[in-house]
């Protein structure tokens, strides 16, 4: 079996932990570094007092499963149509707003009913692993000359593993926009950077449930703490005083502007109120930089980060 021969299908559930039966023709997600692992596995240890000093065998007592990987962040090819990664966004705490024919916006949500769950089928070159009730975490990497990449990890309820042939999956044919000609600004200053990274800091909570077949209840999103970093070239204090902004706790607007130039395949990242948490001296190819880390906070509620696809 070959690691490269893998397919991931993901589809929103209408009822939590009820298989939504994703299909290869409409629900495949193009993903890299795809992997799975059992999580929170329990083995009940038996330690009775008896004549033998040996131990009795442990008993399997339930497990969850994780699926991880990274995807390109790109448009669907049609403005106002959700991107291929939409099910992953919706199952990691993002609220989706569709403006037909114009845009699709994603913002973090604090409303549990908005947090979708996903049924995922992981085809692993001859094996099929099914998980339901999956919710997850995400972080984003923006690097000059590359596509925006999102790193995911989803935790769900393990259903089964069976032998099955790899399906012929249909993917979105859109080629991702590359990070060049990006009008990045922070605090209205056009800082020269080579990279931007941020993590939504999604907190997953998994209560135990004695009535559940695996002993675990609904996987819930119970918190978030978006943080990130970027590396501006060092400039004079008169041009931009990053250090004084850190010391004063100034809330700054960060925006990438549109990444990409083709309608249906443009992406923008906006953060209305970042504050620096640390500034350090850095270096990029022998040119001086700062290494700025930040936290992203709300401005008008549930808006620390906005992803806009147009």
By CB atoms closer than 10 A (0-12, 13-18, 19+), residue 288 is: exposed
- Residue 24 pLDDT > 90: yes
**Beta-bridge partner residues of 288:** 283
Q: Residue 182: how many CA atoms within 13 Å on its side-chain side? A: 29
By CB atoms closer than 10 A (0-12, 13-18, 19+), residue 43 is: exposed
- Residue 2 pLDDT > 90: no
Please state, for a pLDDT cut of 70, what percent of the chain lies above it: 100
Query: For the chain, first and last CA: distance in Å?
Result: 40
Whole-angstrom CA distances from 102 to 177, 178, 255, 265 are 18, 21, 19, 11
At residue 4, the pLDDT reads 85
Counting runs of H as helices and runs of E as strands, what totals does the chain give? 2, 20
**Average pLDDT over every residue of 289-302:** 98
Provide the 3-class DSSP secondary structure of residue 287: strand
Provide the 3-class DSSP secondary structure of residue 248: helix
pTM of the model: 0.95
At residue 286, the pLDDT reads 96
* Whole-number Å distance between alpha carbons of 123 and 240: 51
* Whole-number Å distance between alpha carbons of 292 and 281: 9
At residue 3, the pLDDT reads 80
- Residue 182 pLDDT > 90: yes
* Whole-number Å distance between alpha carbons of 116 and 110: 12
Whole-angstrom CA distances from 144 to 148, 181, 288 are 9, 9, 17
């Amino acid at each position: 079996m070959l690691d490269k021969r893998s397919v991931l299908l993901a589809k929103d559930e209408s009822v939590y932990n009820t298989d939504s039966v994703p299909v290869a023709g409409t629900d495949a997600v193009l993903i890299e570094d795809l992997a799975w692992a059992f999580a929170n596995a329990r083995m009940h240890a038996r330690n009775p007092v008896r004549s033998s000093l040996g131990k009795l065998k442990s008993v399997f007592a339930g497990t969850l499963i994780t699926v991880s990987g990274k995807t390109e962040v790109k448009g669907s090819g049609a403005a106002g149509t959700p991107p291929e990664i939409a099910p992953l966004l919706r199952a990691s705490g993002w609220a989706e707003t569709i403006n037909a024919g114009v845009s699709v916006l994603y913002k973090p949500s604090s409303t549990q009913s908005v947090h979708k769950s996903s049924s995922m089928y992981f085809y692993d070159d001859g094996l099929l692993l099914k998980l339901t009730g999956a919710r997850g975490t995400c972080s984003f990497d923006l690097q000059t000359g590359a596509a925006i990449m999102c790193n995911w990890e989803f935790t769900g309820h393990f259903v089964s593993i069976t032998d099955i042939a790899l399906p012929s999956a249909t993917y979105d044919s859109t080629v991702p926009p590359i990070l060049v000609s990006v009008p990045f600004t922070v605090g209205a200053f056009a800082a020269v950077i080579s990279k931007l990274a941020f993590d939504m800091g999604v907190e997953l909570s998994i209560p135990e449930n004695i009535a559940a077949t695996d002993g675990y209840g609904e996987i819930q999103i119970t918190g978030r703490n978006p943080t990130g970093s970027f590396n501006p070239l060092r400039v004079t204090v008169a041009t931009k005083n990053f250090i004084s902004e850190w010391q004063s706790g100034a809330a700054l607007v960060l925006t990438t502007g549109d990444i990409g130039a083709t309608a249906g395949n443009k992406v923008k990242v906006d953060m209305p109120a970042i504050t620096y948490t640390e500034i350090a001296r850095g270096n990029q190819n022998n040119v001086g930089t700062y290494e700025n880390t930040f936290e992203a906070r709300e401005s008008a509620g549930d808006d620390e980060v906005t992803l806009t696809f147009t």
